[in-house]
Amino acid sequence: MSTAGTQRWGRFVYRHRVAVLAISLLVVALSGLYGRDLADRLTQEGWFDESSESVAASKLADTTFGRDTDSDVIALYTAPAGKTVDDPQVRAAVTAQLAGLLHDHPDRVLRIDSYWDSALSGQFADDSRTYAFASIGLHGEGSATVDNYLAITGDLDAGAPGAGPAGTTVELAGLQPVVEGINTGMQDDIQRAEMIALPLVALLLYFVFGGVVAALLPVLVGGMTILGTQGMMRLITGHIEVNVFASAVVTLVSLGLAIDYGLFTVTRFREELAAGRSVEDAVSRTVATAGRTVVFSAAIIAVSLGALFIYPNGVLRSVPYGGISSVLLAAVLSVTALPAMLAIVGQRIDLWRWRRFARAGTEAEIDRGIFSRLAVRSMARPWVVIVPVVLGLLLLMVPFRHIEFGGLSEKYLAQDNPARVAQEKFDALFPGFRTEPLRLVVTGADAAQLSDIRVQANVTPGLTGPFEPAAPTRDGINVLEAGLVDDRAVDTAIAVLRGIEEPDGVRVMVAGVPALERDSIHGLLEGLPLLALLLVAAAVALMYAAFRSLILAVKAVAMSALSLGATLGILTWIFVEGHGAELFDFTPGPLMFAVLVLIVTVLFGLSTDYEVFLLSRVAEARANGADPPEAIRHGLAHTGGVITSAAAILIVVTGAFGFSELVMMKYIAYGMIAALVLDATVIRMLLTPAVLKLIWRPKSPRATSGVVAEPDTAVSVAQTAEKA
């Protein structure tokens, strides 16, 4: 949309402010009403690479033999003090409980194998007979299996010591308890962000603006975005599976950006009023400047998220569907509902104010401010600023060379989470029984060929025991399985198994959760170069479209890359190497494989986002005739405070997720906090003005068109940019 077009839209919103606001509220309310059952429609599916061999093998095995249910739920029984699991009273009580479970829940419980079954008595108990377990297989797949697990937990008397049958203690391990722990943690994180972050952000905005009305408007936009996003996500769940993890990420990003957009818009509106313009002119100019920049910012975020579509993993594909929808909604509300609110409020924007903070600074006061002084000092000796800052950021990247990746694990839960405690206890007591074994799916082999394949497979290092048939042969298909002593040795094991010599007409495929996870990790890593290329190309193209300068576009991408690399180094130093594990309450270990890609995408978009807001004000100054150094100083002086405030708001929102009990959410929360701190301080306030000073030389501006230039005298920044 042209500058004149955005001004006309701003005046249209002003004239029809009540109708625009009413329609916006109605649409958002209807969307929120439609999405009220969103939480019930989120899934745990989509973590794996649908194009991988392990997924194809798993589907073949499940279609032939049914889903492997051995690891669904492991009920670990501890005998009362002074007794064993062989005690007649214990045996009678536990077997009665398990039989009752099958009888009362035939539509939920598929099968139960336990120590007290005569055929398994030697396998499902420890040598002291203090501990024994039952494997409970459930009907259904995905979220249906989790629902079935929740339906039977009350009948298992799990929890307090001695509360089980005949005074036993029952603890629940296995895949479904761990998945439910993660699911509950995600839902708690979303509620915490909505219930705690919004009031804290409102309080922070009060100190930013010094007035209740100005502070509440961005919060209202954030609340409307959350409500509207619920309906949009609910609509998406009707067409694709949306993972609860993706929903949490969308909530985090959309809430923070919506409030940031509100902050930028309200700040510009107050500046226009302080310059003596009428309310109508202030609304029109706000939409034509800050509003257009917000829309362009949303486009950058949307394109960055859209790069995730290169991956076949459902969890990564559901993030851009939800994220793009919510970010664009935030932008639309920022140029419709918010300007309408500003038009209604008008000069009362500083109502109920704290005089010390409420008054918008004059041009002279802004020019004397700290951000103006920072720009001047950075430009005075640019190399003195650039060299140490860049070296410092490169130093922060060093730990990234130690990055490790892993899949879903009970270690992502809090250390005292019952599912994690039970799983770790079970693994220690029964190291030979793995709830996530490696599986070989063999097709077309006769008895002799299958025996030879087993011999080759059993030399694989790190197995808990030899490969054994998981089920009788059916339709020429066999499934063999064995556990791994250490999941970190899975790459070596898979390489050996995939090197098994296949006779003519025989196919040997590796499956099981360890293989599914490693195939997904390798698929994500192999896609990183293409992801990086798409992000860079999109950012360069969009920045060039905005500022008509290839130098500025490349500079923006380089700054984003520095910020992102430093952030990944910090995350590796903390979460993989374990520095600060006690302080942040987590167990060090490999990064969840999908999280790296999400962090790269989201943080790259956010970093470029702040660059747009800074350069848009530089563009306005150049359009008004300022030479490059003065334009840079003016841009930083007028955006430094608002960028710092925007970063602080996002830190508050992400900080709510930082209190999560799930390590994977801590990754994203602390990663975003680190990136925001770096981006809003050393990169945006020191490095950017110094670099701009080197790449720009004074030159008279020439009138042309520019996407984010001053609406009255638009001048393209690129036409004034030259290499030093």
3-state secondary structure 195-214: HHHHHHHHHHHHHHHCEHHH
DSSP string, 482-547: E-BS-GGGHHHHHHHHTTSPPPTT-EEEEESHHHHHHHHHHHHHHHHHHHHHHHHHHHHHHHHHHH
Taking residues 540-556, what's their average pLDDT? Answer: 82
- Cα–Cα distance between 169 and 156 in angstroms, integer? 10
- Cα–Cα distance between 150 and 434 in angstroms, integer? 23
pLDDT at 715: 34
Q: Is residue 618 within 8 Å of 688, Cβ to Cβ?
A: no
pLDDT at 36: 87
Q: Which of 292-301, 353-362, 660-669 has the highest mean pLDDT?
A: 292-301
pLDDT band (50, 70, 90) for residue 362: low
pLDDT score of 513 more than 80: yes
Taking residues 234-252, what's their average pLDDT? Answer: 81
Query: Which residue range(s) make up the domain with 660?
Result: 367-418+527-696
pLDDT at 118: 66
Where b means 16+ CB within 10 Å and e means fewer, 501-527 reads ebeeebebbbbbbbbbbbbbbbbbeeb
Backbone phi, psi, residue 637, to 5°:
-60, -40
Strands 73-78 and 507-511: unpaired
User: Which H or E run contains 355?
Assistant: helix 355-358
Q: Is residue 239 within 8 Å of 339, Cβ to Cβ?
A: no
Q: Which of 3-12, 188-197, 265-274, 547-556 has the highest mean pLDDT?
A: 265-274
One domain for residues 402 and 504: no
pLDDT score of 110 more than 70: yes
pLDDT band (50, 70, 90) for residue 706: very low
Question: Has residue 578 been placed in a domain?
Answer: yes
pLDDT score of 400 more than 50: yes
pLDDT band (50, 70, 90) for residue 710: very low
* Residue 554: both structure tokens together: 């490349």
CATH number at residue 152: 3.30.70
* C-alpha 195, offset from chain centre: 19
Contacts of 498 (CB under 8 A, 6+ apart): 508, 510
Taking residues 327-338, what's their average pLDDT? Answer: 93
* Residue 435: both structure tokens together: 């709830």
* Residue 148: both structure tokens together: 């079935």
Question: Has residue 507 been placed in a domain?
Answer: yes
Q: How many residues does the chain have?
A: 724
Backbone phi, psi, residue 478, to 5°:
-125, 145
- Amino acid code (one letter) for 620: E
**Number of domains within the chain:** 4
Question: Has residue 205 been placed in a domain?
Answer: no
Gap between the terminal Cα atoms of the chain: 33
Determine the 3-state secondary structure of 77 from DSSP.
strand
Taking residues 262-272, what's their average pLDDT? Answer: 88
* Residue 275: both structure tokens together: 């310059």
One domain for residues 552 and 654: yes
pLDDT band (50, 70, 90) for residue 255: confident
Question: Has residue 667 been placed in a domain?
Answer: yes
Q: Please tell me which residue, 247 or 375, carries the higher pLDDT value.
A: 375
- Cα–Cα distance between 545 and 553 in angstroms, integer? 9
pLDDT score of 148 more than 80: yes
pLDDT at 365: 65
- Cα–Cα distance between 252 and 666 in angstroms, integer? 12
One domain for residues 423 and 410: no
Taking residues 117-131, what's their average pLDDT? Answer: 80
Task: Report the share of the chain in percent with pLDDT over 90.
Answer: 29
Closest C-alpha to 652, from 667, 669, 665 = 669
pLDDT band (50, 70, 90) for residue 353: low
Lowest mean pLDDT, pick from 66-70, 335-339, 436-440: 66-70
One domain for residues 454 and 309: no
pTM, entire model: 0.78
Closest C-alpha to 123, from 430, 438, 472 = 430
Determine the 3-state secondary structure of 605 from DSSP.
helix
pLDDT at 173: 93
Sign of CA dihedral 439, 467, 477, 64: negative
- Edge-to-edge, what's the strand order for the sheet holding 507-511? 468-469, 477-482, 438-443, 507-511
pLDDT at 697: 56
Taking residues 620-647, what's their average pLDDT? Answer: 85
Contacts of 314 (CB under 8 A, 6+ apart): 45, 46, 47, 50, 240, 241, 243
| Helix extents (H) in 35-52 | 38-41
One domain for residues 501 and 552: no
One domain for residues 531 and 385: yes
Question: Has residue 165 been placed in a domain?
Answer: yes
pLDDT band (50, 70, 90) for residue 720: very low
Taking residues 71-89, what's their average pLDDT? Answer: 92
pLDDT band (50, 70, 90) for residue 345: very high
Q: Name the average pLDDT for the chain.
A: 84
One domain for residues 541 and 490: no
pLDDT at 120: 58
pLDDT at 33: 94
Question: Has residue 442 been placed in a domain?
Answer: yes
Determine the 3-state secondary structure of 443 from DSSP.
strand
Question: Has residue 230 been placed in a domain?
Answer: yes
Taking residues 696-721, what's their average pLDDT? Answer: 39
Lowest mean pLDDT, pick from 117-121, 240-244, 314-318, 651-655: 117-121
Last residue of a domain, one of 117, 151, 173: 173
pLDDT score of 119 more than 80: no
Strands 169-173 and 73-78: antiparallel
pLDDT score of 291 more than 80: yes
Question: Has residue 483 been placed in a domain?
Answer: yes
Q: Is 200 exposed, middle or buried (0-12, 13-18, 19+ CB in 10 A)?
A: middle
pLDDT score of 256 more than 70: yes
pLDDT score of 562 more than 70: yes
Q: Which of 292-296, 402-406, 417-421 has the highest mean pLDDT?
A: 417-421
pLDDT band (50, 70, 90) for residue 701: very low
Strand partners, 478: 442
pLDDT band (50, 70, 90) for residue 703: very low
pLDDT at 5: 64
One domain for residues 32 and 87: no
CATH number at residue 601: 1.20.1640.10
CATH number at residue 514: 3.30.70.260
One domain for residues 389 and 425: no
Strands 438-443 and 507-511: antiparallel
pLDDT at 489: 80
- Cα–Cα distance between 649 and 259 in angstroms, integer? 8
Contacts of 619 (CB under 8 A, 6+ apart): 547, 631, 635, 706, 708, 709, 710, 715, 716, 717
Taking residues 119-124, what's their average pLDDT? Answer: 69
One domain for residues 217 and 343: yes
One domain for residues 277 and 343: yes
Taking residues 406-413, what's their average pLDDT? Answer: 80
pLDDT at 713: 31
Closest C-alpha to 439, from 519, 363, 541, 369 = 519
One domain for residues 286 and 254: yes
Taking residues 591-608, what's their average pLDDT? Answer: 79
